[in-house]
Structure 1
Amino acid sequence: MENNQYDPITMLNQMVSEPYYLFHFLAFFSYIPVRCSASQIISPHFSSHLLHREIQAALAFSVLTVVKMVKVEAWEAFIADTLFFAKIFLVGIALVMDYHLALWYTLVFLVIYILTQQPAYQGLGTSNQLTPLQLEALLTEGNTSRFWLVEFRALSSSTCVHTSRFFPELSITYSNKNLSFGIVDLGLFPNAAEKYGISLGSNEKLPTYILFENAVEVTRFPEVDLASNPPITKKLLCRHFELDRCLIDYINAK
């Protein structure tokens, strides 16, 4: 089942079925008939100039895409950055052709931004989607895991969407009888934010990861006493919560 989530054809079908991606693709591909129609009425000199700018934009877009592909860990973040660059270059090329066209594309992308939202990664790995009451019960019961690593997120936050793949993938690698993973959606249960000291007014603090040991908070990320924190990555979460050490301790104790 997990392999299917990474199958290119499956991922492409999922993207096409999502309005966020579908509307973006339609907007981008609409440039082809616009360009073909424009070539019938513009002068050969201007057409050559436009082609030169299109090649420059394509090369710059390719370079930025490759750089992001190397640097970004999450597929969702890579897609978001790629679409952002594509929109900038498309509006720029449209501006070279005619500023009215650039205004239309800007309006289209604004409408897409208002009406749709980038979907989060849907796989849960071995983590559990929990309500606040379920989480409290699991933390207080003595017959559950000693450690619980919980992600508090709100999918209205773009950062939560971009990092939504990290937690399920970490749970697949590090989940064991001593360490369990859970997810609480603060968009559905905003009252839980105050209980666990999470500010919903600051997107910089979302998602928040808290490690509990026998119902007592051990540590969290981002840390509340720091004004700024480094960007969230899987390596950072592993290091901050010492997941490798937890896994080694569990294996040695068996």
Structure 2
Amino acid sequence: MSFKKDLRLLVKPYYLINIFLSISYILSKRTPIICNYIFAQGDCELDGRETEILFFLLFVIMIRTRKTGSVTMINYLTSSFVYTKVTNLLLWLYADVRMGILFAFIFILCGLILPEPTYQGPENIIYLRGANGLQEELRDTKVVWLIAFYTAWNPACVTFAPVFAELSAEYALENFKFGKVDVGRYPDAAIKYHVSDASTSKQLPTLILFKNGKEVERRPYADHRGKLVKFLFSLDNVKAAFDLNNIYNDCKNNPIKRKEKKSLKAE
């Protein structure tokens, strides 16, 4: 996503309200009129304990957003909302239990009525049913496949979903297809293609490129010592790692002929 697209997304209620909740305590404590009314104190400054909590929050957000592969402003915000709101809840409880309970009620209510906006743009993705579904598609060796192995609950997979959708809309052809396999739902695919679907897995998402029905490239991959090489799933990184521009041009210049299509249907 471009910066302009991120700015357009920020005006949606989900982001505006969550940003407000994320800064509610600091805003209340540092605004004299609000501070004097809520906290009944003339010195509207953060004390030592509050400062320590906020610094710890900043450290946690930096670590967690890097692990989830956040690469845009919206990704960073989305990844950090849970931590910032929990921190605000602790700060409100620390200041006044009644205000903490009120904040918790608003926190839960917003989570119920304001779900995170999902990607609404174009996509050209085929959702495959496990290892057997993928193997069936790979029988046609004339088609190049880029497959995303993911789970619905993994934050990095959620972050990558709109990126993969944009790539599919831009590059998909009749002989260059984009597919997704939910390894949480179809663990047989995870076993067959050596993708860990554990809650602590660093292999989610995993992208594998298939040519002639065989794997030729994947990210992330293991080095000669068996250690996973970290990969940041941004739009440009995926294009470069899998050489999508050249694959697209090759497939476009060598389309499947009609006779081949008929013979495939006959099979």
Report the TM-score range of the alignment, normalised by the length of the smaller protein. 0.5 to 0.7
Change (3 A) 1:110 1:200: farther
| Aligned twin of 1:241 | 242
Q: What CA distance in whole angstroms lies between the structure 2 residues aligned with 1:41 and 1:11?
A: 28
TM-score, normalised to structure 1's length? 0.65
* 1:243 positional shift: 0.4
Larger CA deviation: 162-171 vs 130-139: 130-139
Change (3 A) 1:226 1:122: farther
2:148 is equivalent to residue 167 of structure 1: no
2:201 is equivalent to residue 200 of structure 1: no
Change (3 A) 1:187 1:138: same
TM-score, normalised to structure 2's length? 0.62
Change (3 A) 1:41 1:8: closer
* 1:205 positional shift: 0.4
Q: Does the 8 A contact of 2:124 with 2:168 survive in 1? A: yes
Unaligned residue ranges in structure 2 (runs of 5+) = 256-267
Give the secondary structure class of the aligned counterpart of 2:161.
coil
Aligned residues: 225
* 1:210 positional shift: 0.7
Q: What CA distance in whole angstroms lies between the structure 2 residues aligned with 1:109 and 1:215?
A: 52
**Selected match of 2:178 from 181, 186, 192:** 181
Change (3 A) 1:122 1:151: farther
Q: What CA distance in whole angstroms lies between the structure 1 residues aligned with 2:101 and 2:247?
A: 54
**Selected match of 1:150 from 147, 151, 164:** 147
Unaligned residue ranges in structure 1 (runs of 5+) = none
Kindly provide the amino acid, as one letter, of the partner of residue 192 in structure 1.
Answer: A
Change (3 A) 1:82 1:10: closer
Q: Give the superposed CA RMSD.
A: 4.6
**Selected match of 1:39 from 36, 40, 43:** 36
- Percent of aligned pairs with the same residue? 23
Kindly provide the amino acid, as one letter, of the partner of residue 139 in structure 1.
Answer: L
| Aligned twin of 2:259 | none
Deviation track 1:111-169 (CA, whole Å, cap 9, x = no partner) reads 79x99996764656111122123322111135xx5200000100211111111111111
* 1:170 positional shift: 0.7
Kindly provide the amino acid, as one letter, of the partner of residue 164 in structure 1.
Answer: A
Kindly provide the amino acid, as one letter, of the partner of residue 219 in structure 1.
Answer: E
* 1:221 positional shift: 0.8
| Aligned twin of 1:228 | 229
Deviation track 1:75-129 (CA, whole Å, cap 9, x = no partner) reads 652332452574377358647x7174797599779979x9999676465611112
| Aligned twin of 1:218 | 216
